[in-house]
């Protein structure tokens, strides 16, 4: 099955939080990261996002083509979006986004044409809300499998849950989206069970993740590793899920694959280079099994 990722892309500037030292510059954005990670796993993936007619925009295009993502980028007159990512000595990240070129409602017809050609649609919450809503409505009416990674979190996602096949919030986003503010994380499953017809995957950082469907729920442990940089780990999990759905792999196996891919990623600096090729991931899983 073919995957279409629709989201933001731009330039990512990584800094050491304690010293302010520029460490690396590379393309990024949640949707962009997810498309790259899917391609590295071997998925058939296209990416739609907006770029400026500048050096950063060219870098976004060139990397997609190099890694095997079908480039459907839309060029705008504005400069390409960029983000600063401050990584502390414990591997935690603090991100600020400075918006530039972005998709608008005028791009909807182009996006619809591409949705028709794909089977799975992966969205985040970094593009225009009205555009996202119309994409979901159109994809739903055309029987596409819809995955929404609701980051940054927003209340509108709740109103579209009946049209979304899989929603993938992190712990903070799940608390906000499902009114779980005063509920212990290990009670999320009991609270969510049976309330929604779609599937829910809540990523819980070093506490693992929670998968909920209409019939049951299950917690999955994380792998204990030496964390270097957590930037893009959530995008890796979303990529692994989309990839496995496209290959008709069960959710249990998809989550286990995603958990291993995330643990591989957080042991490496930055984002795009931290995502494993499927061959690398397979060797990594085999190595863990031996121990």
Q: Encoding tokens for residue 153?
A: 């979190």
User: N- to C-terminal Cα distance for the chain?
Assistant: 35
Confidence category of residue 251, pLDDT binned at 50, 70, 90:
very high
Measured in degrees and rounded to the nearest 5, phi and psi for residue 48 equal: -115, 125
For CA atoms 246, 235, 169, 215, the dihedral sign is positive
Judging by beta carbons within 10 Å of its beta carbon (0-12, 13-18, 19+), is residue 189 exposed, middle or buried? middle
Confidence category of residue 168, pLDDT binned at 50, 70, 90:
very high
d(CA 192, CA 209): 14
Query: What are the beta bridge partners of residue 146?
Result: 121
Q: Encoding tokens for residue 243?
A: 């990839």
Q: 175-223, pLDDT tens digit by residue? A: 999 999 999 999 999 999 988 889 999 999 989 999 999 899 999 999 9
DSSP-assigned letters across all residues of the chain = --EEEE---EEEEEEETTT--EEEEEEE-HHHHHHHHHHHHT--EEEE-EEESSHHHHHHHHHHHHHT-EE--EEESSPPPEEEEEE-TTS-EEEEEE--S---GGGHHHHHHHHHT-SEEEE-SSS-HHHHHHHHHHHHHTT-EEEE---S--GGGGGGGGG-SEE--BHHHHHHHTT-TTS-GGGHHHHHTTT-SSEEEEE-GGG-EEEE-SS-EEEEPPP----S--TTHHHHHHHHHHHHHHTT--HHHHHHHHHHHHHHHHTSSSSGGGSPPHHHHHHHHHHHHH-
Q: 16-44, pLDDT tens digit by residue? A: 988 989 999 999 999 999 999 999 999 99
Predicted confidence at residue 88, as pLDDT, reads 87
pTM: 0.95
Measured in degrees and rounded to the nearest 5, phi and psi for residue 278 equal: -60, -40
What is the residue whose two structure tokens read 């050096």? 55
pLDDT at 121 over 80: yes
Q: Which residues contact 283 (CB under 8 A, 6 or more apart)?
A: none
What is the residue whose two structure tokens read 């996202």? 132
d(CA 103, CA 105): 7
């Amino acid at each position: 099955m073919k995957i279409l990722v629709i989201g933001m892309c731009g330039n990512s500037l990584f800094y050491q939080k304690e010293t302010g030292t520029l460490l690396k510059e590379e393309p990024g954005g949640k949707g962009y990261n997810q498309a790259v990670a899917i391609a590295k796993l071997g998925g058939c993936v296209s990416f739609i996002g907006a770029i400026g007619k500048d050096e950063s925009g060219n870098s976004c295009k060139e990397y997609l083509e190099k890694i095997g993502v079908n480039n459907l980028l839309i060029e705008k007159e504005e400069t390409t979006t960029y983000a600063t990512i401050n990584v502390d000595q414990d591997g935690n990240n603090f991100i600020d986004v400075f918006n530039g070129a972005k998709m608008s409602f005028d791009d909807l017809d182009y996006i619809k044409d591409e949705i028709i050609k794909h089977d799975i649609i992966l969205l985040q919450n970094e593009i225009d809300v009205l555009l996202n809503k119309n994409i979901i409505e159109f994809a739903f009416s055309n029987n596409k499998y819809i995955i929404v990674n609701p980051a940054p979190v927003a209340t509108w996602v709740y109103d579209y849950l009946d049209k979304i096949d899989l929603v993938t919030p992190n712990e903070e986003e799940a608390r906000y989206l499902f009114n779980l503010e005063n509920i212990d994380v290990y009670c999320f499953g009991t609270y969510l069970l049976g309330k929604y017809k779609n599937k829910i995957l809540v990523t819980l950082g070093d506490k693992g993740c929670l998968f909920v469907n209409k019939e049951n729920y299950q917690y999955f442990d994380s792998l204990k590793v030496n964390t270097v940089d957590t930037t893009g780990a959530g995008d890796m999990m979303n990529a692994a899920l989309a990839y496995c759905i496209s290959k008709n792999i069960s959710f249990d196996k998809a989550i286990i694959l995603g958990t291993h891919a995330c643990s591989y990623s957080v042991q490496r600096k930055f984002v795009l280079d931290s995502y494993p090729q499927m061959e690398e991931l397979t060797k990594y899983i085999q190595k863990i099994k031996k121990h």
